[in-house]
Amino acid sequence: MSHNNAEELTMKPSRIGPFPDLATYLEGKSALITRRWLRAVRSDPAIKPAGRLTTGQLVDHLPSLYEEICTALRTERMTLARLHSDARKHGRDRWMRGYQLDELFRELNELQRCVQRAAREFFAGTPVSRNAQATAHQLLEDLFSATIYTAISQLIEEQDGRIAATIDERDRALAAQQKSEDRLRMAASAAGLGIFEWNVPTRAGVWENRRMYEITGQPESLGPLSCKAFVRELVHPDDAQALITNYMETMQNGGDFHSVFRILRINDRAPRVVEMHGRFRTVADGPIQCFIGTLTDITQRTLAEEALRETDRRKDAFLATLAHELRNPLAPIRNAAQILRQVSPDMPPEAEWARMIVERQCSHLTRLIDDLMDVSRISSGKIRLQREVFDIRDAVQSAVEINLPIAHEHRDRINVSLPDASVLVDGDRTRLTQVVSNLLDNAIKYSDDGANIMIDAAVHGDEIEIVVSDTGIGIPASQLVHMFEPYVQLAPPDGRWRPGLGIGLSVVQNLVDMHGGRVTAASDGVGKGSRFTVRLPTTQARATGTTDATERVRQLTRRLRVLIVDDNRDAAESLGMLLHDHEVQCAADGETALTTAQGFLPDIVVLDIGLPGMSGHELARRLRALPETAHAVLVALSGFGAPEDHARSREAGCERHFVKPVNPETLIDFVRDIAARLTS
């Protein structure tokens, strides 16, 4: 990199960031980082003893360097030029004291290691996605690269001055060329890059620095590898053809060459992962003469990325299994509460009160599980919106209905003000209902009993603004900036603990972002309530459907045969009682279900996916293959509810996939629809 354009470099804006909490953490740990760095430098045998005595000179520049690092972590876009002044001072100080480039590089490299070690310690105790961690570490890498490049530029400028004083105009062009080559080698060595050149007609190779030998394991005494020998002796056989194809296509089409591939080092056959960049060069519009490239060993980075992906995969698998195990016992509990209401409509007030407690707490546990899974899916990009054009007022009304039972329990009043005319949005009806529902739940949770909770929706230009406000405990100004962070709960000024996982508002922000909207939090202070404002873009397209139950007249027209397959006896029997209007039989495993189905001839088969022995998916496929059940309606019940779980059920032949614990009324309505369909 030339020092003439170093100040024109601008770091690419990050999709994830900024990192204010990391910046604050590093500021607090600056003394510890400095002590670690001094120990590392003083114990490095490659730095001259005389130099170690003056290492303290760099300490004078560390505060301003820390300040630039932390400013960059707090900023969306950061110019590297802002680091140059401090780096220039440091570089000038070291050259005056007789330091060599490799000594300066070692000093700054050790400092970078200490800062990144502190960053890893911060992330170890903070729930941050692997993408955010990788972005933060890349940001630190870029900042220290700027410092190193500026120090190199300082040396080159001093060389320029000395050369200008001693050589004449005739030799200046040759000196400039030599300086340019030296500059390239120094910059590449500092950055860990190997530089090479391949002569295209002869395929001979020229290696410009020692780093090429270090990366490839080729003995220096044997010289550089030709292009053909590089592929034959160094590149992993499974990656060779792809590398050759990429190389030939770039030669034919032009442009920059880039490839990541595996090598087996010459001296020890150790596997490494490398990254190659390069360009083909022509002479005076003639044929291509050479390929100039760089080679970087990225093995450690690749291993770290794979470890992060594996950790993320295990976390997702654990959460999915946890949700499944929690949902399974919730299903019969929810069914039992519904059965009590059906068989004893005139039960004593005390019994009805107890039944409602069971129903409410079951719904609360289900919501906690759903929110926990949503946070995991959103962070890993697995949420897929089911978009449609619909009236946002329907989502607000649905959210109010969901929260009315808990509001009545606390004697809260929910006042709703909606536009008189339809307000159409293009979004996921279920997810936007979840957004408003989470905000209402939050308002109820952080308000005293008997509170006033308001929902005001109004159109402003091409946006719909939905404000959920309350008269609750309020939010201290210091905590407002953290309201939408995952696993963060408000420290209540009244000292009362509120239930929850601290993830509902994080889910709200992510879902609103996915819809192209924005959400903000505001409060006038402790004891003065809070306001959450959601803004979503509206659309002029026509509505694609409606879910108003009054528009669908459904009537039970025939009694169906329903086969329930579940190894959880309580779940199967309670579901059978809910469907008492139909003829129901139960089976506990796949083999029994197949035998029963051939004699029972069910219209509907409700099957658990996690059956012992034969899985629910396999059972569905075998039922589809039987003449007796080829046209039966198959319905999956499972504690797993990720999009891929729904897809697997569809592929196995299931018409619907319900996640446990399914709302009993939802399942009953579905069976009624099937009855009406089969009758017609």
Radius of gyration of the chain measured on its C-alpha atoms: 33
d(CA 255, CA 249): 10
- Predicted local distance difference test score (pLDDT) of residue 554: 39
- Predicted local distance difference test score (pLDDT) of residue 636: 92
Q: Considering the chain, what percentage of its residues have pLDDT values greater than 90?
A: 24
- Predicted local distance difference test score (pLDDT) of residue 9: 36
- Predicted local distance difference test score (pLDDT) of residue 602: 92
pTM of the model: 0.43
Residue 174: which pLDDT band, with cuts at 50, 70 and 90?
A: low
Q: Please report the DSSP string for 393-436 in residue order.
A: HHHHHHHHHHHHHHHHHTT-EEEEE--SS--EEEEEHHHHHHHH
- Predicted local distance difference test score (pLDDT) of residue 81: 47
The strand ranges marked E within 370-525 are 387-391, 413-417, 424-428, 452-460, 463-470, 518-522
d(CA 60, CA 56): 7
Residue 534: which pLDDT band, with cuts at 50, 70 and 90?
A: very high
3-state secondary structure of 481: coil
Say whether pLDDT at 555 is over 50: no
3-state secondary structure labels for all residues of 54-71 = CCHHHHCCHHHHHHHHHH
In contact, 516 and 537? CB cutoff 8 Å:
yes
Residue 276: which pLDDT band, with cuts at 50, 70 and 90?
A: very high
Order across the sheet with 463-470: list the strands: 413-417, 452-460, 463-470, 531-537, 518-522
- Predicted local distance difference test score (pLDDT) of residue 1: 37
What is the mean predicted confidence (pLDDT) over 506-533? 89
Q: Is residue 351 within a helix (H) or strand (E), and if so which, with residue range? A: helix 349-379
Q: What is the pLDDT of residues 71-98, one digit of tens each?
A: 878 875 544 445 555 555 555 555 455 5
Averaged confidence pLDDT in the chain: 79
Residue 205: which pLDDT band, with cuts at 50, 70 and 90?
A: confident
What are all long-range contacts of 111-116, with beta carbons under 8 Å and residues at least 24 apart?
111/33, 111/37, 111/144, 112/140, 112/141, 112/144, 113/40, 114/33, 114/36, 114/37, 114/40, 115/26, 115/33, 115/69, 115/140, 115/144, 116/140
What is the mean predicted confidence (pLDDT) over 110-128? 85
- Predicted local distance difference test score (pLDDT) of residue 388: 87
Residue 4: which pLDDT band, with cuts at 50, 70 and 90?
A: very low
- Predicted local distance difference test score (pLDDT) of residue 592: 93
d(CA 262, CA 270): 10
Say whether pLDDT at 550 is over 80: no
3-state secondary structure of 589: coil
- Predicted local distance difference test score (pLDDT) of residue 33: 86
- Predicted local distance difference test score (pLDDT) of residue 465: 95
Residue 504: which pLDDT band, with cuts at 50, 70 and 90?
A: confident
- Predicted local distance difference test score (pLDDT) of residue 408: 86
d(CA 587, CA 596): 8
Q: What is the pLDDT of residues 227-249, one digit of tens each?
A: 999 999 999 999 999 999 999 99
What is the mean predicted confidence (pLDDT) over 93-111? 66
Better pLDDT: 678 or 47: 678
Buried b (16+ CB within 10 A) or exposed e, 4-32: eebeeeebeebeebbbebbbebbeebbee
Better pLDDT: 669 or 317: 669
Better pLDDT: 47 or 282: 282
Q: CA-based angle 504:509:512, to the nearest 5?
A: 120
Q: Considering the chain, what percentage of its residues have pLDDT values greater than 70?
A: 76
Q: What is the pLDDT of residues 600-628, one digit of tens each?
A: 999 999 999 888 889 999 999 999 999 98
- Predicted local distance difference test score (pLDDT) of residue 161: 64
What is the mean predicted confidence (pLDDT) over 301-320? 79
Residue 382: which pLDDT band, with cuts at 50, 70 and 90?
A: low
Say whether pLDDT at 666 is over 90: no
What is the mean predicted confidence (pLDDT) over 103-118? 82
Better pLDDT: 288 or 417: 417
d(CA 639, CA 320): 8
Type of residue found at 621:
R
